[in-house]
Amino acid sequence: MRHVSYTYKIIKVKGKETLTAECVECIVKILQYFSLKLASCEEQPALHLIVVDKDITDFAYVRNKLPENCENVVLIANNTPVTEAFRRLSKYVFSKTDILQCIVRVLITMWTLGYQQNIRLLCCCFQRNTELRYAYRVLKRMQVQMKLPQDKMSCFISSCIMSPTGKVIVSEFNNKSLKLLGHYEVLNVCNVPEQPCDMCIISNNKIAVSVEKKFIIFIVESKDNLEIKGSMKIGQTGIGIECRDEILYISDSQSIYMYTLSGELIQELFSDRSTLKTIERFKICEDGLKIYVTNSTANELIVLDIEGLKLDTFKEKHDPRIGHLLGLCTADYGIVFACDYYSETIVQVSVKRMELGTITGIKRPRCCCFDKDETMLYVGQADGNLVIFDMKQTRLL
């Protein structure tokens, strides 16, 4: 069954100020709960949402406002007798998307009317029902060889990302190329002037590529083709790269910087100069509120907020002498996959629950990306092969 993921940005309400980051974070967490419930329904679920902004004691009055055969009503009101009465109602059919959109409108309305504490309580309640209870397990394993006959050097996969069209783009360091993968075969190769390190999505058909030199390459995907469409200079060597709200986040081996898409430095977001290399790769989570960073020297997964402040550190429970965390990617419900190079596993982590398990059957993993629509994990190996895991979300005890 396909699982649909939802991304939410800061939302503006008519006549109101932009909602705070706290409001958006609460809304996202509540929607994660409802998304999970909807994903488990094989047929369209039934739900009817009603917002009552004044006290109503006449149940018949409210009932007459509903369509015929209306079931599963959720009433947003402060009137306890009416809320209790509505529990006896049953189904009215909406699409899954309609339901989530209705929930967003209800939550925004409640927040702007002054019910912030109610939203916080809902968030805590639903979060307890979603966090720490789910993980991914492997159903099937496949492998695609990324080395092509025209490649002059050995294949070294430095990064991989999901394109907006549902295809996978792989950066190949030694042969200075990007490879577009579709239906488990290479569809197109785009040669770049320098060794590519990492990639990120900028828009529906445009990606940014960090290279070993001090500039970023922009690539456009069109009709199964990848084509260079410009570049920009930056002030340091670019290794990791992410984009959020038209801001580029670029890392070297010790710091993360923020740039405009025109190449102007905004600020240094985070820095750790305790050793020569403290940042391997980083990812911004879907809601844009947290940044996950791998430190291969200390073998740690670090959690930052979007302002660059350190929130938490995950230290893998394996023997640190055999661990070496490199590339990473995010999935639903706060789950992170990180490549453990030396122990040849993918570590599945929920930051609050710590390690959820490991995925084996890979050789020297360097990078990964996750297809949330198809629930598939792509892992780039040091030997030039791309391993594909068909995954299933399972509930933990």
The answer on 350 and 330 residing in a single domain is yes
Give 349's strand partners: 336, 355
Indicate whether 289 belongs to any domain.
Answer: yes
More confident site: 305 or 100: 305
Mean pLDDT for the stretch of residues 218-227: 91
61: containing domain? 21-131
Among 90, 108, 131, give the residue marking a domain's end: 131
User: Which of 120, 162, 136 has its CA nearest to residue 25?
Assistant: 120
pLDDT of res. 6: 34
Number of H helices, E strands in the chain: 5, 26
CATH number at residue 369: 2.120.10.30
Range in 56-65, 79-88, 292-301, 325-334 the model is least confident about = 79-88
- The fraction of the chain above a pLDDT of 90, given in percent, is 43
More confident site: 391 or 44: 391
Give 347's strand partners: 338, 358
Per-range mean pLDDT, top range of 64-68, 170-174, 333-337:
170-174
pLDDT of res. 124: 64
The answer on 364 and 267 residing in a single domain is yes
Indicate whether 13 belongs to any domain.
Answer: no
Mean pLDDT for the stretch of residues 186-195: 94
Is 4 a residue whose pLDDT tops 50?
Answer: no
The answer on 140 and 90 residing in a single domain is no
> Using one digit for the tens of pLDDT, what is the confidence trace for 331-345?
877 789 999 998 899
SS3 60: helix
Is 61 a residue whose pLDDT tops 70?
Answer: no
The answer on 386 and 283 residing in a single domain is yes
The answer on 268 and 143 residing in a single domain is yes
Indicate whether 4 belongs to any domain.
Answer: no
Among 72, 100, 131, give the residue marking a domain's end: 131
Indicate whether 172 belongs to any domain.
Answer: yes
Q: How many domains does the chain have?
A: 2
> Using one digit for the tens of pLDDT, what is the confidence trace for 84-117?
444 443 333 445 555 566 667 677 777 777 777 7
The answer on 313 and 172 residing in a single domain is yes
Angle of the 21-39 helix axis to the 116-130 helix axis, nearest 10: 40
Q: Rounded to an integer, what distance in angstroms lies between the CA atom of residue 47 and that of residue 90?
A: 8
Q: What's the mean per-residue pLDDT of the chain?
A: 77
The answer on 122 and 56 residing in a single domain is yes
pLDDT of res. 75: 47
Q: Rounded to an integer, what distance in angstroms lies between the CA atom of residue 331 and that of residue 335?
A: 5
